[in-house]
Amino acid sequence: MLKNGPVPRYYQLKEIIRQKVTSGQWNPGAPIPSERELCEQYGLSRMTARQSITELVNEGLLYREQGKGTFVSQPKITQQLIQLTGFTEDMQARSKRPGTQVLNHAMVAADAATAAALRIKPGQLLFKVQRLRLANGEPLAIETSLINFIGCEHLMDEDLGHESLYQLLEKKYGQPPLEADQELEARLAGEDEARWLKIAKGDAVLLIRRTTYTDRNQPLEFARSVYRGDKYRFYTRLNRK
Ligand code: GLP
């Protein structure tokens, strides 16, 4: 039974459910008890139980399936926003198996936005690769990278389905990615994105634009990535000076 007091009952139930999920008592993908069961167990009205569940669905901790019930969501990947890392190292740090499917690669002429980011003339030829990035076989992101340095056309011969771009740039080409500017923006998945990412069209995704610099502040990569909104959480520590 829940307590009567200053903490609203729907909120108490929310925290009980959250505790069951974070403690691992309720596993990702498993159904949670029905509204009726929760009402009986905690002595609540149907409306109160529904409010708790709806808020947890909105927070992403639970998800509903039409006609089937409510389930525990898969945990998200927490990605820090302080250090410059690449996808392969991010997954390895989490003991996940990184995977890559190259969707296309080519030498292309820089458009105006790319030219501005990479500080080159529009029309200059660059290496472009679009990759689907996976963790343990599950698609997480679509990344489109435009790379500029003298000799970047040799990247056409690399096997980017199996090798890390950042490791190649650093170890083989002497172009270590050292710093980056990055922006994050909310978006809805388009049809092609949804198909590759195995989500529904219109689902939430995060659009990330990154300009990566090598030494002497020389722009190396302009990347546009679309990350699944249901899989990622970004974290940064803020200081008040
Ligand atoms: C991140 C960045 C991309 C970068 C990639 C390199 O995911 N968002 O801009 O291209 O890492 O990853 P990897 O070294 O695994 O190819």
pLDDT in tens, 183-228: 999 999 999 999 999 999 999 999 999 999 998 899 999 999 999 9
Please choose, from the candidates 19, 115, 59, 97, the residue with its C-alpha nearest in 3D space to the C-alpha of residue 229: 59
pTM above 0.85, yes or no: no
Do 204 and 186 contact (CB within 8 A), yes or no?
Answer: yes
Distances (CA, A) of 35 to 40, 49, 50, 61, 129: 9, 6, 7, 16, 48
Phi, psi torsion values for 72, nearest 5 degrees: -85, 130
Q: Is 162 exposed, middle or buried (0-12, 13-18, 19+ CB in 10 A)?
A: exposed
**Bridge partners, 135 (sequence order):** 98, 138
What pairing do the DSSP bridges indicate for beta strands 125-135 and 138-147?
A: antiparallel
88 lines ligand 1 (CB under 6 A): yes
87 lines ligand 1 (CB under 6 A): yes
Instruction: Give me the number of domains the chain comprises.
Output: 2
CA-CA distance, 52 to 151, in Å (whole number)? 57
Query: Are 231 and 165 contained in the same domain?
Result: yes
Please choose, from the candidates 193, 189, 190, the residue with its C-alpha nearest in 3D space to the C-alpha of residue 203: 189
Looking at residue 54, what is its pLDDT? 92
The residue-averaged pLDDT of 118-134 equals 97
Domain boundary among 37, 72, 107: 72
Minimum-distance ligand 1 atom for the alpha carbon of 223: 9
129 inside domain: yes
41 lines ligand 1 (CB under 6 A): no
The pLDDT tens digits of the residues spanning 50-103 come to 999 999 988 788 999 888 999 998 888 888 998 999 999 999 988 899 999 999
Query: Are 37 and 62 contained in the same domain?
Result: yes
Host domain of residue 133: 77-235
CATH code, domain carrying 112: 3.40.1410.10
pLDDT at residue 1 is higher than 70: no
241 inside domain: no
177 inside domain: yes
The residue-averaged pLDDT of 33-39 equals 94
Question: Above pLDDT 90, what percent of the chain?
Answer: 81
Query: Are 103 and 56 contained in the same domain?
Result: no
128 inside domain: yes
225 lines ligand 1 (CB under 6 A): yes
Question: Above pLDDT 70, what percent of the chain?
Answer: 100
CA-CA distance, 206 to 60, in Å (whole number)? 15
Closest residue by CA, ligand 1 atom 9: 223
Query: Are 89 and 203 contained in the same domain?
Result: yes
Q: In a mutational test of the pocket of ligand 1, which residue from 126, 129, 145 has the highest number of ligand atoms less than 8 Å from its CB? A: 145
Query: Are 119 and 32 contained in the same domain?
Result: no
